[in-house]
Amino acid sequence: MRTQRCKLQAAHGKACAGLLAVVLLASLCIGAGAEQKTETLYKRLGGYDAIAAVTDDFIGRLVADKQLARFFVGASTDSKKRIRQLVVDQLCAATGGPCIYIGRSMKAAHEGLGITESDWQVAVGLLVATLDKFKVPQKEKDELLAIASSVKSDIVAPPPANK
């Protein structure tokens, strides 16, 4: 009787262990599926190096543009490197990456520059050209443009008041 009870307990233990393995495997698969669905924009863009490459290309376009180059006149090489790093950190943080943006607010950083709606539209066009160059998928491109649009009112100067 005792031997039979031991065999039943051993069989029950193996069945429980097997069931536990199946449950764990299923939960890992479900968890992995959920993780893929909630993957951050940062990861979908390719992470830090991809964001840095996009930033380098975009800033290069801004500096070379006839309409926008005036915003970089007088900036030293070190200042340009700092701007670049701040943009990388801000994009990294805004897309769900591990970076921390330590720069000023967009309003403070752009105050007094007189950035117009036309300047904004040119910059957005240059950003889209950069994203197209790197073959950023439409969904991710739209999300990045939405992030940029969310700070537009802090960057573009209000039109002068009519007197």
d(CA 50, CA 145): 16
> What share of the chain has pLDDT > 90, as a percent?
73
Fold of 41-155: Globin-like (1.10.490)
Res 92 pLDDT > 90: yes
d(CA 120, CA 143): 17
pLDDT at 88: 98
Who wins on pLDDT, 61 or 161? 61
pLDDT at 160: 77
d(CA 18, CA 16): 5
**Lowest-confidence pick of 27-31, 62-66, 119-123, 127-131:** 27-31
The answer to whether the beta carbons of residues 119 and 67 sit under 8 Å apart is yes
d(CA 26, CA 19): 10
Who wins on pLDDT, 162 or 92? 92
d(CA 108, CA 80): 17
Q: What is the DSSP string of 30-93?
A: HHHHHHHHT--HHHHHTSHHHHHHHHHHHHHHHHH-TTTGGGTTT--HHHHHHHHHHHHHHHHH
d(CA 91, CA 79): 18
Structure tokens at 80: 């340009």
Torsion angle of alpha carbons 129, 122, 145, 98, nearest 10°?
80
- Assign 163 a pLDDT band (cuts: 50, 70, 90): low
Res 74 pLDDT > 50: yes
- Assign 91 a pLDDT band (cuts: 50, 70, 90): very high
Structure tokens at 158: 């209000």
pLDDT at 37: 65
- pLDDT tens, residue by residue, 17-60: 343 333 333 333 344 444 456 899 999 999 999 999 999 999 99
- pTM comes to 0.75
Q: What is the mean pLDDT of the chain?
A: 83
pLDDT at 126: 98
CA of 56: how far to CAs of 13, 24, 63, in Å? Answer: 60, 44, 11
Structure tokens at 113: 């520059």
